Chain A
């Protein structure tokens, strides 16, 4: 049985310590593309949270029913189903946000955060823990997108949620709402999170944790030493 501490941990880990965007560097496409406005960031974040929670719950409930051979197609069908539902809802009730998010709303289906959590967590854990994991990761993603959208909107257009900010609105730095500004703000936010988390680059390069270690077998280190 899950204890209280671990349940709370499942929820909070996605907010900062394992934030999917700023720490895991997942879901970069929507992060850079839709965050020209804070409103768009929140909209995309909440839509992704809805899909994450729902797909985690369903996948976790069906984990014993879904055969391994068709695991990924089943996950994709479930995720795509929820994405289409949120698309219908947004088109019906929030048409402006639907227009602003454009193709990136449909592309939530292939967002690696969702498939990643389905594969790494929901397919191996209970329904409640999976729901909390989805909620935490989704809110962490929303938080990152909201921060990026706010910074880009404030500096790039001199307004926030459409409200004009004195002085800044007279001298907007439009590069911040262009792709280059998106990369710059994202880099700054990642650096800030690393600074607060006390993350430092490794002092010595080792094979530990290297994804190519099995192929390379330490050859790169020998070449570097030479």
Chain B
């Protein structure tokens, strides 16, 4: 049976109109909800900094590229930003690493003026509730305090039944310490 012109045109036309209307709706929704946090010290990050070092004058290290503010990461994998309190000589590295879940560990690792880990704060955690999330407990994170680049992470006891999350945390803190050790001068505006 031969199809009429209307039957041929209407289906693609209706589908195209629906797609166009939906696209318009999405553009509006995106504009209304999107906030670009790149290079900004958000409330969440500030709270994390204060959990480790208490109050201070924290600032994120940023660089300008093509007129856009971008956080300094030294091109290191996993580093999201570097925050400093120059007056106190403290530095915090915002780091995202894999635990049991890919990118499941989003942490701030604080380094005191002595160059050793002073504390760890969690920005978000995507690990298994009740298992992997136990890496947030002080009994585990407390073991990293005093750790410096090149130190031994093998003597840190993992959390029972959360092997991947524990290993992920050890790798994340180890990487942060290495990065801090190799870029300390640049972070505080020296050489």
Contacts and interface: CB of A to CB of B under 8 A. Distances in A.
Interface of A: 36-37, 62, 65-67, 69-70, 73-74, 77-78, 80-81, 84-85, 88-89, 91-93, 95-96, 99-100, 102, 153, 156-158, 172, 174, 177-178
B130 A84 contact: no
B124 A69 contact: no
A6 B188 CA distance: 71
A74 B131 contact: no
Contact of A174 (B25, B34, B130): B130
B14 A66 contact: yes
11 contacts: A37-B129, A67-B10, A70-B12, A70-B14, A74-B18, A88-B32, A91-B33, A100-B126, A156-B129, A174-B161, A177-B131
Most chain A CB within 10 A, of B11, B12, B18, B19, is at B18
Nearest to B161: A174
The 9 closest A-B pairs by CB, nearest first: A92-B33, A157-B130, A81-B22, A70-B11, A67-B11, A88-B33, A69-B11, A85-B29, A70-B15
Contacts, number: 71
Nearest to B130: A157
A153 B130 CA distance: 9
Interface of B: 7, 10-12, 14-15, 18-19, 22, 25-26, 29-30, 32-35, 124, 126, 128-131, 161
A91 B10 CA distance: 37
A80 B10 CA distance: 22
B12 to A, nearest CB: 7
Given A77-B18, A78-B22, 7 more contacts: A36-B129, A66-B18, A70-B14, A85-B29, A89-B33, A92-B32, A177-B130
